Structure 1
Amino acid sequence: MEKHHILAGLLLLVATLGFMSLKYLRAPRRSPLRLWGWMGLGIILGSELLLALPVYWVTVFFTPLAWTGYILLVDALVATLEGHSRLTRAPLQFLGLAFWSIPLWLIFEAYNLRLKNWAYVGVPVDEWIAIPGYAWAFATIWPAIFETSDLIRALGIFRSEARHAWTLSRLLRAIFLSVGVIFLIVPLVVPEARARYLFGAVWVGFILLLDPLSYYWGERSLLRELEMGRASTLYSLLLAGWVCGIVWEFWNYWAASRWVYVFPIWQQSKLFEMPLPGFLGFPPFALECWVMYEFVRTARRQIFGSRQAARWEAVESQT
């Protein structure tokens, strides 16, 4: 059974990355691959090689190593297509994204303390090794999603979507927000045995709660994008979540320090370590990453004032 779920996972990985590679090879490019792209590719290939040998420190830190390489490579691919990327356009803002990735992901770790959907195995006992490893790995989550979404947009996969503008009433936004509150509270108050089945509510709860608030304050939000007839952000994030989810599970399966899923359904039907229904969570998780980060920026403007926030963003955007 294990061989079957590995083979199926590999086929899905090849199909996903093959589609992305084919789109890239057919796309017009403005420049050759930048140096950091080659560095990223080297980190990925080198980490894979040292993992296979195996070299202990690489097996322990394989996940953040591989994802650091991935982020550098994908950023450079975006630069070849667009002439610029997050690292060339706003390196400090990119570092800020990596910084915020840690506390934002820790919110989900806090939920997992009660819902117990995953656990970490093979993590070094020494905290001075484990904690930096966790922080490094968590710091790659948001950048990986955002860079992949950037690449999908640069490839023009969703540029031909219909320009239909959505009508989003105040009542509808209030309903979204209320449902988001319910989705985020219920898993914390129901009996723990039932809460373990409710992580899906957490995967969409922050979208429903925070995006209407960003909209209300006049800031960037998915609702505003849809209201203006721009669905490419939504679609590119959904696909980015799928791509990153497949790669996450592939690399995680071979790492010595990794996560395993312990939620009580479909444990006999997996791709790599992930039970099949879990893959449905990656696309909305990417939306959630975007919404949460935009809300952080919105909150900063609301707390410190738009002028001060604009100064910070101007500094972050300097190359």
Structure 2
Amino acid sequence: MRGYGWAGLGVIVGAEALLLTGAPTVARWFTPIVWTGYVLVIDAVTARLIGRSYLTTDRVEGLLVALASVACWWLFELYNAPRFWRGGVDAEGLWWRYHGLEPNLFLRRVGYDWAFATIFPAMFLTAATLRATIFHRARVRPWRPAPTVLAIAVAAGAIGVVLPLVVVSTWLVPLVWIGWFLLLEPLNFRRGRPSWLADLASGDASRMFGLLASGVICGALWELWNYWAAARWTYSVPYLGEVKIFEMPVLGYLGFPPFALEAYAMYHWLRGLLDRGPLNPVL
């Protein structure tokens, strides 16, 4: 593993140790610090396995993934507080709320963006690692969705992404984690952008399984590390909300695998707006 990967491992271990000793600065900034360490580690592992990564060969793509991660997560924050301009309860969040945040508003925004910038890179690099190892031989019977199926998925996705903004309800949170991939994955498939649907058409399921598993792994780590941080988030959902693993209600863990598919679809749809030529991404 490259040197920066070992440095990332040191960041994770050091942050954990300082958190346990009660260091207030690390406790407040723990989430972006520890996830930066994770991205360094998993990037180095990816580079070792496939000879490419965001920090070695594909730095521009890595930057674009991080920027898309920030932008897309702010979109999810809008879903969480779709009437935020009213202030008060409407600005607190329907499904998750943050606690123990940095009081300085500028530094708080830095912390938000720093943490948000690690989300997509962490998942995509984890998926690339899994695709190159556990799932490198994952094959299925080739399946090419019919145009009617794609049209239905796009229509369902469009409803799913609009409805939670129009009808403010805690019951609609599942739509947030499936709507965008139903809408955008068929569009990416049709336009020849990187797509796990295109992979399935040739019988290759390695990217899809890698993404699904990366959602599970990163989701578990998000909740594990969040639980001990001083600046953290908690959840409020109407179904089995009191049955939790760490702070996440148990049913919430079902959202992480489709979220990984959604993040991938969102990134490559946005990426396609910048470059319509053929792409050869790390994942």
Report the TM-score when normalising by structure 2: 0.91
- Establish whether residue 35 from structure 1 lines up as the match of residue 3 from structure 2: yes
Q: Distance in 1 between matches of 2:156 and 2:50?
A: 39
Aligned partner letter, 1:187: P
Report SS of the residue matched to 1:218.
coil
One of 131, 155, 161 as aligned partner of 2:109: 131
- Establish whether residue 89 from structure 1 lines up as the match of residue 57 from structure 2: yes
- Establish whether residue 140 from structure 1 lines up as the match of residue 114 from structure 2: no
Q: Distance in 1 between matches of 2:106 and 2:204?
A: 46
Q: Deviations over 1:7-36 (max 9, x none)?
A: xxxxxxxxxxxxxxxxxxxxxxxxxx2101
Q: Deviations over 1:139-160 (max 9, x none)?
A: 00000101110111122x1233
Determine which structure has more spread, i.e. the larger CA radius of gyration: 1
Aligned twin of 2:143 = 166
Q: Distance in 2 between matches of 1:106 and 1:286?
A: 16
One of 178, 191, 194 as aligned partner of 1:204: 178
Report SS of the residue matched to 1:161.
coil
Does the 8 Å CA contact 2:177/2:258 hold for their aligned counterparts?
A: yes
Aligned twin of 1:11 = none
How many residue pairs are counted as aligned between the two chains? 272
- Establish whether residue 117 from structure 1 lines up as the match of residue 117 from structure 2: no
Q: Distance in 1 between matches of 2:51 and 2:58?
A: 13
Q: Distance in 2 between matches of 1:244 and 1:132?
A: 22
Which runs of structure 1 show a deviation greater than 4 angstroms over 4 or more consecutive aligned residues?
none
Q: CA deviation at 1:177?
A: 0.3
Aligned twin of 2:21 = 53
Aligned partner letter, 2:96: W
Report SS of the residue matched to 1:119.
strand
One of 145, 153, 157 as aligned partner of 2:131: 153
Q: CA deviation at 1:299?
A: 2.0
Q: Distance in 1 between matches of 2:203 and 2:194?
A: 14
Q: Taking every aligned residue pair, what percent have the same amino acid on both sides? A: 42
Gapped regions of structure 2 (runs ≥ 5): 83-92
- Establish whether residue 233 from structure 1 lines up as the match of residue 207 from structure 2: yes
Aligned twin of 1:20 = none
Q: Distance in 2 between matches of 1:161 and 1:301?
A: 29
Aligned partner letter, 1:37: G
Does the 8 Å CA contact 2:54/2:62 hold for their aligned counterparts?
A: yes
Q: Distance in 1 between matches of 2:44 and 2:155?
A: 41
Report SS of the residue matched to 1:264.
coil
Q: Distance in 1 between matches of 2:60 and 2:224?
A: 30
Q: Deviations over 1:42-75 (max 9, x none)?
A: 0001101111111111111100000000011111
One of 187, 194, 208 as aligned partner of 1:213: 187
